[in-house]
Amino acid sequence: MEGKRPRRPKSLRAMKEAAETYLQDCDKAQRFPTVTGLALALGFSGREEMDRFARQEGGQTAALLERACSQVEEETLQAVYRRDTSSGARFILQSSFGYGEKASHEPGPITVRVEGEEG
Mean of pLDDT over the chain: 84
Tell me which residue of 35, 41, 43 sits closest to 8, measured CA to CA: 43
Q: Domain for residue 59, yes or no?
A: yes
- The pLDDT confidence band at residue 85, using thresholds 50, 70 and 90, is confident
Q: How many domains does the chain have?
A: 1
Q: Domain for residue 109, yes or no?
A: no
Q: Domain for residue 57, yes or no?
A: yes
Rounded to the nearest 10°, the torsion over CA 40, 43, 49, 55 is: -120
Amino acid at 65: L
Distance CA 41, CA 4 (A): 11
For 48-62, the pLDDT digits (tens) are 999 999 999 999 999
Structural domain span for residue 22: 12-70
Distance CA 47, CA 71 (A): 15
Q: Domain for residue 92, yes or no?
A: no
Q: Is the pLDDT of residue 119 over 60?
A: no
Q: Domain for residue 30, yes or no?
A: yes
**Claim: this prediction has a pTM higher than 0.95:** no
Q: Is the pLDDT of residue 106 over 50?
A: yes
- Which DSSP letter does residue 85 get? T
